[in-house]
A and B are shown apart, each in its own frame.
Chain A
Amino acid sequence: MAKSQTWLYFSSPKTFYPLAGKLIPWFTALAIVLTVIGLYMGFFVAPTDYKQGDSYRIIFIHVAAAWMSMFIYAVMAGYAVIGLVWNVKLSEMMASSLAPTGAIFTFLALWTGALWGRPTWGAYWVWDARLTSELILLFLYIGYMALQSAIDDPRRASRASALLAIVGVINLPIIYFSVRWWNTLHQGASVSPEMAPKMAADMKTTMMVMVFAFWMYAIAIVLARVRTLILEREKNTAWVVELLEAKQ
């Protein structure tokens, strides 16, 4: 691999560790600011819905979390492929760092969905294609983390769990298109790339602010997690030993 390429410069744990440390405060600050703005808009700016009243307001958390749950899985699987095919250690660590955050967002999407479903549909949970495939996504995340912690050697653990992550990618289009392919109780998409949004402009803006807030939070927390993982897996290298000595 050409060492002169600058984008490869940060693919080494040694150079990425300080970079991540510098980036975390920025993403944390952005996450806090955007969350405050998003929640304020969600409660006070976005109008009441003509049919559901105020109960629809959970959409600002629900949809943002659901999108993140799928997006993070796609990114995680991407890192897993790079780690598996090109043997990039940092990619393996990024994949491992993304899993818990993805799982939390999946749980959040399911949980807020249940709280929303009870007053509107009349049920916390139904076994329709959208809900079931999102539940499978949660199991995929949990399975990925369980498999990784079941194997002691980190490289072997990364390779085995990478395969699981890649196989699970098949679930993403199923979740996304489930409401179009089959009859579901879950409604269709209000906002999607190929059509005009089916919600009022203020509602859509609020939802987008929450999506970006979650995005910033995810980046900040994943960078923090990957830093710990780097220290753990590189603890025998000279630079980590030096770093720890310098701290003492």
Chain B
Amino acid sequence: MKAREKRLAMVIGGLTALGAAAGLVFYALGSGVSFYYSPTQVKNNEAPLDRTIRLGGLVQKGSLQRENDGLTVHFVVTDYAQNVDVTFKGILPDLFQEGQGVVAQGKMASNGGFTAMEVLAKHDENYMPPEVADMLKKGEQANKGAAATPVSTQN
């Protein structure tokens, strides 16, 4: 083996070992790297109850309620499998909307609800002009009216 080949072998071998090590580390960390827990994980008690956690999912349509003080809001975070009731007192981000993604930071309350201290809006990777969005919406509604099985454009 020439010195040059030795060095190349060292680089390749080193990278392979490093890749394997990184893979194992992330495998061990598992969902610990994740930014938030889903409502299903929370309901299955996979999230710690005594610490501040983040809860992520979609704001269920029609679930947003505002209290008379104008600041406290209640909404339901869903992943279509499980729901968690969230209470938050503060200003919601501009993109916060029913049916949109949200990440709430806070603690589980004793009654199974979630008390948020901070609410972040999570937007998706779809970008389009409003006209196109309107057309998609109309198409979806037309589909719903025509067929018994609604065609979902959710991804």
Contact = CB atoms under 8 A, between A and B. Distances in A.
A169 interface: yes
Nearest to B14: A166
Contact of B126 (A85, A121, A190): A190
B35 A128 contact: yes
Nearest to A59: B127
A12 interface: no
Contacts of A190: 125-127
A121 B123 CA distance: 7
A152 to B, nearest CB: 23
A122 interface: yes
A50 B134 CA distance: 9
B93 A120 contact: yes
Interface string B106-126: 000000000000111111111
Contacts of A29: none
Contacts of B33: 129, 181-182
* B22, B103, B125 — most chain A CB neighbours (10 Å): B125
B26 A181 contact: yes
B38 interface: yes
Contacts, number: 119
Contacts of A236: none
A84 to B, nearest CB: 6
Nearest to A204: B127
Contact of B132 (A184, A187, A200): A200
B128 A182 contact: no
B139 interface: no
B21 to A, nearest CB: 9
Interface residues of B, number: 40
A151 B117 CA distance: 48
Contacts of B71: none
A126 B15 contact: no
B70 interface: no
Contacts of A51: 95, 123, 133
Given A183-B35, A184-B34, 13 more contacts: A84-B7, A120-B94, A121-B122, A122-B94, A122-B96, A166-B14, A181-B26, A182-B34, A183-B37, A187-B123, A198-B126, A199-B127, A200-B129
18 contacts: A48-B130, A49-B127, A49-B128, A49-B129, A50-B128, A51-B95, A52-B123, A85-B4, A120-B93, A121-B95, A121-B122, A122-B95, A167-B18, A183-B34, A187-B124, A198-B124, A198-B127, A199-B125
The 3 lowest CB-CB distance pairs between A and B, nearest first, are A122-B93, A47-B129, A50-B133
Interface of A: 47-52, 56, 59, 81, 84-87, 119-123, 126-129, 166-167, 169-170, 174, 181-185, 187-190, 198-200, 203
